[in-house]
Copies of this chain bind each other. A is one copy, B any other.
């Protein structure tokens, strides 16, 4: 088994002749693709594309393999059995990914069988007794019209040894994992364990996070649908606030570490007056604090709409619980309830009557079917994951950088997420549409 780990890449000061950010492959590819159009294994997409006289193109800079169908396959489709598993919280488009992966595996490559493991990683654990579904055209035919995942999902890891036993026993050589950071780390361990045992297992990931905070993925699937639903709720929040004297509506949206949904929905709606995200700290108190700005707005304009990402202002909440969800992620503290208390206390102290409405629509947002922008994205993520795995590539997720689908080593993915930058377009557009100051406090 041939490996080109990425471990030594960061410190390798090498020229173009030695390609950068290589992907691990299971070995030499011996089978021919049944289709005609291919992407060469040699094509790279640089991580940084902006150029300046001061920083001319650097051939040794970080660059990624371009994703796509390869001419030579590692697996013989006729004897290959594939598996799909969806993990973690719901996100619009999960069923689209399942459907397109099934179609590409079956009609694009002609693999023998596609198994749908149920209830996330639990379905890999043979002790759970969750027999996987054998996917068929009929089973997947209309699933993309519904939200959720037809395979079921769950949080939390699986015993790697037991899972690999299961995959070997079922003859699965190709595993597509749709999930977040934790899922992809677990997927990587499955491949490592399988390779220890000499079982060729290509593990390809499709990054899933409604928060849109994956490094090297300019847009994760589900994000545009989440904006649509969020805007719909903001619209209600605006109507509520606008229809009474001194109406204040607070909408809590998803975003534990990154405010993409809050910021994107704010720009799309243009009805938001204050947008608070994890990347931009803010003060509540003081003459330039958030509460004073809110009061000024309400007194002047009789209403205000606030959007807050769930991970915003964590430093302001006194008693850090440090609770973790079943996936092991630290749960954000309840900023919504905290803000509500602070606002109500402040207006009471200031003697300004107001009518407060709280909106917490996360479960309504993440369970929707994918809109068109996301549906197309899911289709492409799924097919690229299949292409990579059929070529024997493993330990990777499909990325999307500069409008190009790429192969991202899972290990690299784990190093840190994408964030809203206060100097970037999106946040500048938030400031422009809300009219809020760049800094509270």
Tell me whether A324 is interfacial, beta carbon within 8 Å.
Answer: no
Q: Would you give the shortest CB distance from A90 to chain B, in whole angstroms?
A: 6
Specify which of B268, B367, B401 is in contact with A236 (CB 8 Å cutoff).
Answer: B367
- Residues on B with C-beta less than 8 A from A375 are 267-268, 270
Taking the closest CB of chain B, its distance from the CB of A263, in whole angstroms, is: 9
A256 contacts the other chain (CB 8 A): no
Asked if A212 is at the interface (CB within 8 A of a chain B CB), the reply is no
Contact call A432/B90, Cβ cutoff below 8 A: no
Alpha-carbon gap, A122 to B245, bound state (A) = 10
What's the nearest-Cβ distance from chain B to residue A305, in Å?
A: 12
Q: Considering the chains assembled together, what is the distance between the CA atoms of A230 and B364 in angstroms?
A: 11
A99 pairs with B270, CB closer than 8 A: yes
Inter-subunit contact B153/A243 (CB<8 Å): yes
A270-287 to B contact mask, C-beta < 8 Å, 1/0: 100000000000000000
Give chain B residues whose Cβ lies under 8 Å from the Cβ of A149. 243
Check B376 against A264 for contact (C-beta < 8 Å).
yes
Docked pose: A358 CA to B392 CA in angstroms: 43
Tell whether, in the assembled complex, residue B51 and residue A103 are in contact, meaning their CB atoms are under 8 Å apart. Answer: no
Residues on B with beta carbons closer than 8 Å to the beta carbon of A262: none
A56 touches B59 (CB 8 A): yes
How far is it, in angstroms, between the C-alpha of A423 and the C-alpha of B39 when the chains are bound?
A: 10
Note all chain B residues with C-beta closer than 8 A to A403: 218, 401-403
**Which one of B99, B264, B360, B432 lies within 8 Å of A103 (CB-CB)?**
B432
Asked whether B52 lies within 8 Å of A108 as measured between CB atoms, the reply is no
Chain A window 77-117, contacts with chain B (Cβ cutoff 8 Å), 1 for yes, 0 for no: 00000000000001000000001100110011000000000
Interface residues of A in 223-282 (CB under 8 A from B): 224, 227-228, 230-231, 233, 235-237, 239-240, 242-245, 249, 264-265, 267-268, 270
- Whether the pair A404, B50 counts as a contact (CB closer than 8 A) is yes
User: When the two chains form their complex, are residues B53 and A45 in contact, meaning their CB atoms are under 8 A apart?
Assistant: no
Within 8 A of B (CB), among A17-52: 17, 19, 36-37, 40, 42-46, 49-52
Size of the chain A interface, CB-CB below 8 angstroms: 93
State the CA gap A180–B115 with chains docked (Å).
46
Check B363 against A240 for contact (C-beta < 8 Å).
yes
Q: How many copies of this chain?
A: 4
Does A166 make an interface contact (CB < 8 A)?
A: no
Could you tell me if B146 and A239 are in contact, using CB atoms closer than 8 angstroms? yes
A66, CB-defined interface residue at 8 Å: yes
The answer to whether B37 touches A52, judged by C-beta atoms less than 8 angstroms apart, is: no
Q: Is B51 a contact partner of A63 (Cβ separation < 8 A)?
A: yes
A154 to chain B, nearest CB (A): 6
Q: Quick one: closest B residue to A384, CB to CB? A: B425
A54 contacts the other chain (CB 8 A): yes
| Contacting pair A37 B428 (CB below 8 A) | yes
Residues of chain B within 8 A (CB-CB) of A361 are 361, 364
Give Cα A127–Cα B285 distance, bound, in whole angstroms.
33
Judge whether A148 is part of the interface by a CB distance below 8 angstroms. yes
Binary flags per residue of A368-401, CB closer than 8 Å to B gives 1, else 0:
1001110110011001000000000000000001
20 extra A-B contacts, CB within 8 A, seeds A16-B51, A46-B49: A42-B54, A43-B50, A44-B50, A44-B52, A90-B239, A100-B432, A148-B239, A148-B243, A152-B245, A153-B243, A227-B372, A236-B363, A236-B368, A264-B372, A357-B363, A371-B371, A371-B373, A376-B429, A380-B425, A383-B429
